[in-house]
A and B are shown apart, each in its own frame.
Chain A
Amino acid sequence: MKAFDYTRADDLSQAVGSPAMLIAGGTNLLDLMKLEVATPDALLDINRIGLRDIAREGAGLRIGALVSNSDCAAHPRIRADWPLLSRAILAGASPQLRNKATMGGNLCQRTRCGYFMDGHSPCNKREPGTGCAAQGGVNRNHAILGASDACIATYPGDMAVALSALRATVETEGPDGVREIAMRDFHRLPKDDPSRDNVLKPGEVITAIRLPAPFGGRQLYRKVRDRASYAFALVSVAAAIRMDAGRIDAAQLAFGSIAHKPWTDERVEKMLVGERPSAALFDKAADLLLEDAQGQGDNDFKILLTRRTLAAALAEATGE
């Protein structure tokens, strides 16, 4: 690990605009620092600046950025009204990690692409301009949608997938003031600058996650992985479905581990509305979702796996 300066912020104002890298739970950042994939000159510890409340806000909920993943997943209102979020969090990592990991920090976790993590292979995300070793390499867990010539990495997390399906927003405070970013717009596609995972600006701090009024319906997080726990998703589907008289009344969907961001497609959500659930309908939804899907070799299977996982999730969410 490269030597770095460490200071502790006492309140939010010290963090906003700070050139230092922020550290909260550190569950991903410390790993990356040990591997020298991340080599910050300075860390600013924000664990003592508050932002640990979960509070009602109209019909919705405001979750402080430093609430732990465990506390969020266990919160009675979240379990009752936004169960998708609770389930997605519990599908990730391990209890120890969830105890340390924070809501804001979780959104900022980096890809687990083996070539990004090894610290030496060509990687435009780690070292812009060096290339992308994952293309033509071991890329079983890489993107099938929204990849670019510069990067085929995936966003690996679970929680953000659920938040995308739930149409949550991210509240931030930066040198230019407070803003609210739709969760679906928070992470970005790699395009020609994969070094940026999200749209946060320098000095901008995540302060909260906002959940809109409860969606209701049936909510599930379906995570397909190589082993039953402690593995990143091969594909995940977050689904919230409301039914009305045997037809789909509303559908909110997001997909994990298939792109550089939690993948959402409003066309798919809209085409399901008013339809009776059937295997044929689920197939049509998958056709639309995956019309631009592109495998990289090892990960070609993800196209079929996404289709199947979507079908399984929709069958369960729309079933009796």
Chain B
Amino acid sequence: MSDTYDTPDTRDMLDRTRQGVIGKGLDRPEGPLKVAGTATYAAEYARPGCAEGVLVGAAISKGRVTAIHRDAVMAMPGVLGVYSSERMLRRAAQGTAGEAPEQDVSTVDFPMQPVALVVAETFEQATAAAKALRIDYDDQSDDARFMPSDDNAEPADDPVEAGDLDRALREAAHVVDAQFTTPGHASAAMEPHAAIAEWEGRDLTLWGSLQMLSFNVAELADSLGIDPKHVRILSPYVGGGFGSKLGISHEAVAAALAAQDLGRPVRVVMSRQQVFQSIMRRSETEQRIRLGCGPDGRLTAFAHEALVSNLPGEDFSEPVTQASEFLYAGENRLLAVRKSDITRLTAGSVRAPGEAVGMQALEVAMDELAEAAGIDPVELRKRNLPDAVPGEGTPYSSRRLVQALDAGAAAFGWDQRSATPCARREGEWWIGHGVASAARVNILAKAEARVTLTADGHVVVETDHTDIGTGSYAVLGQIAAEMLGQPIDRTTVQLGDSRLPSGAGSGGSWGASSTGSAAFRACEAIRATLAQAVGCSADDLLLQDGKAWAEGVDPRPVTDLLTEDLTRTGRIEPGDLMEKVNQSTYGAFFCEVAVNAFTGETRIRRMTGAFGFGRVLNAKTARSQCLGGMVWGIGSALTEALQFDSRDGHLVNHDLAEYHVPVHADIPPMEVILLEERDPHASPIQAKGVGELGICGAAGAVANAIYNACGVRLRDFPMTPDRLLAHLPDPFAPAA
């Protein structure tokens, strides 16, 4: 079988197998370890003789380091070394870079950029010395630009242009032309970035907190100037990533260099503030959306333009218009993203890059168009689903958007909603309802996994794939148990060791479907061998509860067919199916908010999300991904914003006390509806990604509900009380 996936697999294999564990909402096998504190995270390995390193951030926004006064610090108690070199990282690597990012910390690209590492016997000694380290700079901050602006921007990609947009807008029955802003977002996970580096001769072992090990090995080796075969990364448990751990960052390279110099292991753990200040941000965006439709609400004009930012020299630009390419109709089109070079920390992939901020603006614009056209916003969306991707003609594989809108509307009770704002007041609170579509691209990535059916009937799945809290252990075990007909408790999954076959890594929502497909193919090879032993074709082989049989052949324990462990490696590589057929994932959000008539505080009262993303591999972990996405959407709508000082570009709210993610009290009971579907174009297991879909548009539903509640149409996120306050109707006026 070719590794390349270029023919849709329509066999529905996982529907024909008999074990019955695929799709079940099974608990994560590593869950008890995590809640009991016995899952070992990167910083927690006890390595004999381990020294402690602390990174030092630049005191200037931009410029050069001219002197590092090491001597005074070297004389401090316990200090072993002060490092600042051309190999240390200035910036974290972008996702899937596979090579070193910007190195050499004698240059300062952004405020608080790490410029040195101080290593000492204890963490406290290293911290004290890092604080005491005196560094001289050539401060070039006067040349820096800290605020994005269009006059400082270049096109990030070729714009998508079709038809005659201006004419279509002129001739449209209803037009929306609206400007939106979204702020920068943090990707700080519960587990801060951490690394322990240990050398044995020329071989480096790095315990790290990373999402994509095969890329990370290449990035680390390139940064150190060594052959990747000398680098091993261990990352079996990752306490959240959200994009911030896609590429290696400062702590890993610094730890490796110091460990090499000192001849002993070195641990570098970033503080919460350092993670915020020096790893990665989601770019802020300014967006202009123009929509035009006929009297029937059908889109004829569709324009989505965005301004984003990054550090000079970074190729990544937030792909704001990604879903706008395929989601709605409108033959006269313009999609364009421009990138402004500014002096702030690196912008990169933060959970659902593109759609997270693009969809929330688009879905507000669609709400505005629905109102202008006098059409129910659910109906308007349903009327604007094209038969093929506009401008491309690419067909869609599976698209459950209509079903998501209908199922969500029914479960939510959308028919009870008032179409006019300010219709419902309960005490001090305006109550309103909003809807938004969800859409997110789907990606199949190259992956490899090894599966062993042991002679005593256990299943072992091995890959360097990671579990960043998403359920990789659970899902990969379920696929293998299902395919090989073994109970789930006889299935073991080994992850997060770069010496294992290269999985897809956790990012872009592609982990489960890609690495899962590799495991699936390994299992198919094992099934072929078992079929021979049973004396049937692989298609006719039946496996369940450790027994193998076929029509007319009595069941026998699989162990009777095995004389030794049976190990196969499965591989998958994306072919041209992604270009030929649009495989995106879809859903819908329905939200009820209460807006305080006096203060402008918005509280979510209930929220429903319905999603279709191919085969559901585990109903519990999939639901959790959707829930988590919706919570991110609520944060994006109401609270989350990186606050940069416009005078020097430094991040002011650099911890989780002042960067406000939603807390439990912000999240009411949430309803998630999973719409089962099969997408054979997406992967042989007919699954797609779900890790990011739940964010994509969610904040738009909240914003639309705010408008429906109190009649204030905001287009700047997050919608904090200060932004609503001045526009609210008189709180003492009697309700309409």
- In the bound complex, CA of A253 to CA of B598 (Å): 18
Report A225 CB to chain B, min CB distance, Å. 7
Among A189-242, those with CB < 8 Å from B are 224-231, 234
A227-B663, A229-B665 given; A2·B131 CB < 8 A: yes
Closest A residue to B603 using CB positions = A228
Contact of B662 among A114, A120, A138, A227 (CB under 8 A): A227
B726 & A304 in contact (Cβ 8 Å cutoff): yes
The reply to whether the CB of A68 lies closer than 8 angstroms to some CB of chain B is: no
B662 & A312 in contact (Cβ 8 Å cutoff): no
Which residues of the partner chain B approach A120 to less than 8 Å between Cβ atoms? 59
B660 & A305 in contact (Cβ 8 Å cutoff): no
Which residues of the partner chain B approach A35 to less than 8 Å between Cβ atoms? 273
- In the bound complex, CA of A304 to CA of B599 (Å): 9
- In the bound complex, CA of A1 to CA of B125 (Å): 9
The reply to whether the CB of B202 lies closer than 8 angstroms to some CB of chain A is: no
Report A116 CB to chain B, min CB distance, Å. 11
The reply to whether the CB of A115 lies closer than 8 angstroms to some CB of chain B is: yes
Closest B residue to A94 using CB positions = B663
Which residues of the partner chain A approach B657 to less than 8 Å between Cβ atoms? 112
- In the bound complex, CA of A47 to CA of B428 (Å): 43
B128 & A137 in contact (Cβ 8 Å cutoff): no
- In the bound complex, CA of A224 to CA of B722 (Å): 11
- In the bound complex, CA of A12 to CA of B153 (Å): 64
A114 & B721 in contact (Cβ 8 Å cutoff): no
- In the bound complex, CA of A94 to CA of B652 (Å): 23
- In the bound complex, CA of A126 to CA of B59 (Å): 17
A118 & B654 in contact (Cβ 8 Å cutoff): yes
Task: Count chain B CB atoms within 10 A of each CB in A3, A114, A140, A279 and give the residue with the most.
Answer: A114
Among B251-289, those with CB < 8 Å from A are 273
A137-B647, A227-B660, A311-B598 given; A301·B124 CB < 8 A: no
Contact of B124 among A3, A228, A302 (CB under 8 A): A3
List the one stretch of B85-93, B340-348, B390-398, B638-646 in contact with chain A. B638-646
A301 & B601 in contact (Cβ 8 Å cutoff): no
A308 & B598 in contact (Cβ 8 Å cutoff): yes
- In the bound complex, CA of A140 to CA of B598 (Å): 19
- In the bound complex, CA of A140 to CA of B720 (Å): 11
The reply to whether the CB of B666 lies closer than 8 angstroms to some CB of chain A is: yes
A231 & B652 in contact (Cβ 8 Å cutoff): no
Report B468 CB to chain A, min CB distance, Å. 24
Among A3-21, those with CB < 8 Å from B are 3
A137-B652, A305-B725 given; A225·B665 CB < 8 A: no
Interface size class of B (residues with CB under 8 A): 35 or more
The reply to whether the CB of A136 lies closer than 8 angstroms to some CB of chain B is: yes
Contact of B658 among A36, A112, A133, A279 (CB under 8 A): A112
A1-B124, A2-B128, A137-B652 given; A301·B660 CB < 8 A: no
Contact of B599 among A115, A279, A305 (CB under 8 A): A305
Report A320 CB to chain B, min CB distance, Å. 13
B652 & A301 in contact (Cβ 8 Å cutoff): no
A312 & B598 in contact (Cβ 8 Å cutoff): yes
Tell me whether chain B's interface is mostly helix, strand or loop, or mixed: loop
B599 & A308 in contact (Cβ 8 Å cutoff): yes
- In the bound complex, CA of A164 to CA of B418 (Å): 44
Which residues of the partner chain B approach A315 to less than 8 Å between Cβ atoms? 732
Among B648-688, those with CB < 8 Å from A are 650, 652-654, 657-658, 660, 662-666
The reply to whether the CB of A124 lies closer than 8 angstroms to some CB of chain B is: no
Which residues of the partner chain B approach A226 to less than 8 Å between Cβ atoms? 638-639, 660, 720-721
B725 & A301 in contact (Cβ 8 Å cutoff): yes
B721 & A305 in contact (Cβ 8 Å cutoff): yes
The reply to whether the CB of B624 lies closer than 8 angstroms to some CB of chain A is: no
The reply to whether the CB of A309 lies closer than 8 angstroms to some CB of chain B is: yes
- In the bound complex, CA of A315 to CA of B599 (Å): 13
Contact of B722 among A133, A136, A234, A312 (CB under 8 A): A234
The reply to whether the CB of B127 lies closer than 8 angstroms to some CB of chain A is: yes
Among B700-736, those with CB < 8 Å from A are 720-722, 725-726, 731-732
- In the bound complex, CA of A138 to CA of B641 (Å): 12
Which residues of the partner chain B approach A309 to less than 8 Å between Cβ atoms? 598-599
A308 & B731 in contact (Cβ 8 Å cutoff): yes
A308 & B725 in contact (Cβ 8 Å cutoff): yes
- In the bound complex, CA of A115 to CA of B652 (Å): 7
Which residues of the partner chain B approach A115 to less than 8 Å between Cβ atoms? 652
Which residues of the partner chain B approach A137 to less than 8 Å between Cβ atoms? 645, 647, 652
Closest B residue to A282 using CB positions = B732
B127 & A234 in contact (Cβ 8 Å cutoff): no
B664 & A311 in contact (Cβ 8 Å cutoff): no
Task: Count chain A CB atoms within 10 A of each CB in B603, B654, B721 and give the residue with the most.
Answer: B721
Report B537 CB to chain A, min CB distance, Å. 59
A140-B722, A279-B732 given; A227·B643 CB < 8 A: no
Contact of B731 among A140, A231, A234, A312 (CB under 8 A): A312
Contact of A229 among B428, B599, B653, B666 (CB under 8 A): B666
Closest B residue to A312 using CB positions = B598
- In the bound complex, CA of A201 to CA of B427 (Å): 47
Which residues of the partner chain B approach A301 to less than 8 Å between Cβ atoms? 721-722, 725-726
A312 & B599 in contact (Cβ 8 Å cutoff): yes
Contact of A138 among B124, B601, B638, B652 (CB under 8 A): B652
Report A93 CB to chain B, min CB distance, Å. 10
Which residues of the partner chain B approach A302 to less than 8 Å between Cβ atoms? 722
- In the bound complex, CA of A35 to CA of B127 (Å): 10
Report A91 CB to chain B, min CB distance, Å. 11
A137-B647, A304-B726 given; A228·B652 CB < 8 A: no
Report A282 CB to chain B, min CB distance, Å. 9
- In the bound complex, CA of A78 to CA of B657 (Å): 29
Which residues of the partner chain A approach B666 to less than 8 Å between Cβ atoms? 227-229
| Further pairs besides A228-B663, A308-B731: 9, Cβ < 8 Å | A118-B654, A136-B647, A140-B722, A226-B638, A228-B603, A228-B666, A229-B663, A230-B665, A311-B598
User: What are 19 A-B contacts defined by CB distance under 8 Å?
Assistant: A1-B128, A2-B131, A112-B657, A114-B658, A118-B654, A137-B652, A138-B644, A224-B721, A226-B720, A227-B660, A229-B663, A301-B721, A301-B722, A304-B725, A305-B600, A305-B722, A308-B600, A309-B598, A312-B731
Residue positions of A touching B, CB distance < 8 A? 1-3, 35-36, 112, 114-115, 117-118, 120, 133, 136-138, 140, 224-231, 234, 279, 301-302, 304-305, 308-309, 311-312, 315
Residue positions of B touching A, CB distance < 8 A? 59, 124, 127-128, 131, 273, 428, 596, 598-601, 603, 638-639, 643-645, 647, 650, 652-654, 657-658, 660, 662-666, 720-722, 725-726, 731-732
8 tightest Cβ-Cβ pairs between the two chains A and B? A301-B722, A228-B665, A229-B665, A312-B598, A114-B652, A138-B652, A279-B732, A308-B598
